[in-house]
Amino acid sequence: MSFLSDVRRALAQIGDARFQRVFITGIGLTLLLLVAFYAAILWLLNWWLPDTLTLPFVGPVGWIDDVLSGASILVLVLLSGFVMVPVASAFTGLFLDDVTDAVEARHYPALPPAPRLSFAQGLRDSIAFLGVLIVANLVALVAYLILPPLAPVIFLALNGYLLGREYFQLVATRRLGREGAARLRQRHALRIWAAGCVMALPLLVPVLGLVVPVLGAASFTHLYHRLPAH
């Protein structure tokens, strides 16, 4: 059985209420953050700019703040396209235990319940992963500029490593603890990296990339239970 089979099994469960609840919660929190950010921009513009400006040779002008407010909408659209997927991943990561529990309840019912991470641990891990994801991709921009034809390959290789490491560690830690999960990940590093590359493919399509956290957690749960000596 290959990782593509794991993905198909995860997709077959995508209608599970727990999957949908995690997905909707993550996207909802992301949209609220973007709206709050936009509201803060508008407030700063309204506070900083007077109702009218007096320009040399022009006189009083009252439409500058309208232009800047309109420009702020464009900035928000561009920003959302760039950061929505990693931010949604961070928010969704807080609730991925629910996805893993749903997969194990359906496909591995003989297993005892796994201990869950505390909210504080989940928040810390999600913020750390978000930071690594953003910084690594910003650094990779240099490689994209130097080697434009290889940009898609670099993108998939880098994000495949990051996603594979994050989701496998998340799933395995529940059963083995952090040290045990790290040892197992090292033993199967190439297989996990390849699986992460598969999960990175939807990131090339901005909207489709929003399903990656839920689909990744479910798929890597199946991968974890297929590995020997765990």
Q: For residue 54, what is the enclosing H or E element?
A: strand 53-55
Task: Quote the pLDDT of residue 228.
Answer: 81
Task: Quote the pLDDT of residue 170.
Answer: 87
pTM (two decimals)? 0.78
Residues 6+ apart with CB under 8 A from 92: 22, 23, 25, 26, 27, 213, 214
Amino acid identity at 139: V
Decide: residue 157, CB within 10 A, 0-12 exposed, 13-18 middle, 19+ buried. Answer: middle
Task: Quote the pLDDT of residue 57.
Answer: 47
Question: What is the 3 state secondary structure string of 88-102?
Answer: HHHHHHCCHHHHHHH
Q: pLDDT 10s per residue in the chain (230 long)?
A: 689 999 999 999 999 999 998 888 877 877 777 777 767 766 666 666 555 545 444 445 444 455 455 555 555 555 555 556 666 677 677 788 899 999 999 999 999 988 877 777 777 877 787 788 778 878 888 888 898 889 889 989 998 998 899 899 889 998 998 899 999 999 999 999 999 999 989 888 767 777 888 899 999 999 999 998 65
Task: Quote the pLDDT of residue 3.
Answer: 92
- Residues composing the chain: 230
Task: Quote the pLDDT of residue 67.
Answer: 45
Q: Are 127 and 89 in contact (CB under 8 A)?
A: no
Task: Quote the pLDDT of residue 103.
Answer: 95
